[in-house]
Structure 1
Amino acid sequence: MMSICKQLQPTVHIPPCGLNLEAFNSRRQTNKVVIVMGATGTGKSRLSVDLATRFHAEIVNSDKMQVYEGLEITTNKITKEEQCGVPHHLLGAVQNPNADFSADDFSDAASIAIESIVDHGRLPIIAGGSNSYIEHLVDVLDYSFRAKYECCFLWVDVSMPVLHPYVSKRVDEMVRNGMVEEVRKMFDPNASYSKGIRRAIGVPEFDRYFRDEKLYDEKTRARVLQEAINEIKDNTCKLACRQLGKIHRLRNRDGWTLHRLDATEVYRRRGNEAEQAWKRHVAAPSAAIVDEFLRSFAPAVKRHAMRVPAMAAAASH
């Protein structure tokens, strides 16, 4: 939900590699897709833009809250400036805040977007923290997606003891940037927090504050507000743990081949040292992985065939 390292320096510039994807498409049985995964706050959006500027790609958002229009600050949606001119699909695409955008809806919409990107000779990059969306897209319908597309999974990982203080500080930054007022404009005492964009972390936590703030004196109002902010921090850290657990399950139980990129050192440093750590530990190695992936022509169907026994074994437990 809150998924870009905004407190780090600007995106590392990597010169275009000059790969002709249309030529690649004519030489292999399947098209290729890059999928960027990771817990909230690890830098998935930043990495996807880094890669897109190098490999002539377009990005498909797979964050189930950022797919809705609105709550730009609360959902930590990537800004136009941060997009660096890279086309983004399914970002703010659902205008009804009460609509349910299911995993089936995502799979249908993402498939259309990916097909369009491929038809234009560009590389689709799927990026976002909703692993259930990604899993549904990739492994639903007897793995028809894998039969059509060869996937490269990049996992941006940060040690939880390092990530948790970062995401907590990021909540404070979001509050300074106007999150409370942004959520206040959407507050409806009769609305449900079980569907639509109001499920987003940062919305239900303010319910008590918005309902009763006029009844509080200044001291009580400040205390209740801080309690809501602390709850948002706790829930964000819990989300990161759940996301990491899901990634481990996809890798260890379901047999997904994930390329782990350890970004922990980036968060331990500041200024130019953080920028260099990002380039050294994340941007450069991920670019090398994708470059090799695009230059290989092993049919995806063979890779899929190798996965089936592992999946079957997992299902038997």
Structure 2
Amino acid sequence: MLLFPDRLTMMRVSLSMCKQTVSLLNIPSGVLKSDFFSPRRQKEKVVILMGATGTGKSRLSIDLATRFPAEIINSDKIQVHAGLDITTNKITEEERCGIPHHLLGVINPNADFTATNFIDMASHAMASILSRSQLPIIAGGSNSYIEALVDDKDFRFRSKYECCFLWVDVAMPVLHQYVSERVDKMVENGMVDEVRSFFYSNANYGRGIRKAIGVPEFDRYFKAEPFLDEQDRAKLLQEAIQEIKRNTCKLACRQLEKIHRLRNKKNWKIHRLDASEVFRRRGKEADKAWEELVAGPGTEIVAEFLYNISSEALVTNPAIRVPCVA
């Protein structure tokens, strides 16, 4: 049994909480737009969500996008490809709560997608979102692509945009347990058959969507499957599943290392939100912890970033609340 509810349940709970608490500042929407997106501002504002795989970046992005006028840009270099929705853990249409998503499932699964491609497409998406007086929220686990976007050679991004970085963090032992359970859930939801539909002998696992964790690990199983009895097939399948779990945990460690490097060596101002306790709890207690430890503080940080409202003012002044446009 998962310690953490499934993502769709979490999205529904978060959206419900948003509708109940609604509002950061009781300011008419026109005023919000004229203040937030005023031509007098030299730099546009962008929120960037970071974190290891499975920590809840998608959930937080939806929380924020239902509390502020925002659209979401995917920064996961695998999820940008079409196909393998279960294996790549793409957020579903229902989970999106009507929030527009960009760079999600839009690239041919066989095509390469480079950091340069991401910079070009993300830049276009940000300009489009801002033209509609919406806040761009970039969310995903490909930290090297985010770094390439933000710290480009010509300093173009930093000269145009002001960033608010949020990092959803979970203690590694807790996250590893959750990742293991999540992989089991993906298998239950049909991951094996989904990957089988993409399988062929001599496939290039260094290109396109086949680089995704959960694809190359099944290669040996699919090749041997027709020649094995039921017991040996089951054994080989479990070996593939265990390898997926190990590789996912290794990915989480690498992602965490990159965030520490950006924070400690490149001095990015990254706000850490510790979600560990959320994953230790169950049901309503987990949802309550998420709001108290992640969604609530994250909302306050973004509100201060957008509207120059201090966190202390948000806590001490009950008249100040977060604008929800859901």
Common fold: TM-score over 0.5: yes
Give the aligned partner of residue 118 of structure 1. Answer: 130
Paired letter, 1:32: K
Paired letter, 1:244: L
Alignment of 1:199-218 (within 5 A): 199-218=211-230
Q: 2:148 aligns with which of 136, 144, 147?
A: 136
Give the aligned partner of residue 54 of structure 2. Answer: 41
- Secondary structure of 2:197 counterpart: helix
1:219, CA displacement in angstroms? 0.6
Alignment of 1:1-317 (within 5 A): 6=7, 9=10, 10-13=12-15, 14=18, 15-17=22-24, 20-26=32-38, 27-94=40-107, 96-296=108-308
Query: Please, which runs of 5 or more residues in structure 1 have no aligned partner?
Result: 298-317
Paired letter, 1:182: E
| Contact 2:8-2:95 at 8 Å conserved across structures | no
Give the aligned partner of residue 312 of structure 2. Answer: none
Paired letter, 2:280: R
Q: Distance in 1 between matches of 2:82 and 2:8?
A: 24
TM-score, normalised to structure 2's length? Answer: 0.87
Cα RMSD (Å) of the superposition? Answer: 1.5
Deviation string, structure 1 residues 214-269 (Cα, Å, up to 9, x no partner): 10111100000000000000000000000000000000011100000000000000
Higher relative contact order (CA 8 A, sep 6+): 2
| Residues 266 and 8 of structure 1: CA distance in aligned 2, closer, same or farther (over 3 Å) | farther
Paired letter, 1:136: A
Deviation string, structure 1 residues 120-146 (Cα, Å, up to 9, x no partner): 000000000000110011001332101
| Contact 1:8-1:274 at 8 Å conserved across structures | no
Q: Distance in 1 between matches of 2:290 and 2:300?
A: 14
Deviation string, structure 1 residues 31-50 (Cα, Å, up to 9, x no partner): 10000000000000000010
| Contact 1:22-1:122 at 8 Å conserved across structures | no
| Residues 118 and 5 of structure 1: CA distance in aligned 2, closer, same or farther (over 3 Å) | farther
| Contact 1:16-1:56 at 8 Å conserved across structures | no
Q: Distance in 1 between matches of 2:8 and 2:281?
A: 11
Number of residue pairs the alignment of both structures matches: 293
| Residues 16 and 211 of structure 1: CA distance in aligned 2, closer, same or farther (over 3 Å) | farther
TM-score, normalised to structure 1's length? Answer: 0.90
Paired letter, 2:218: F
| Contact 1:16-1:53 at 8 Å conserved across structures | no
Query: Please, which runs of 5 or more residues in structure 2 have no aligned partner?
Result: 310-326
- Secondary structure of 2:272 counterpart: strand
1:16, CA displacement in angstroms? 4.6
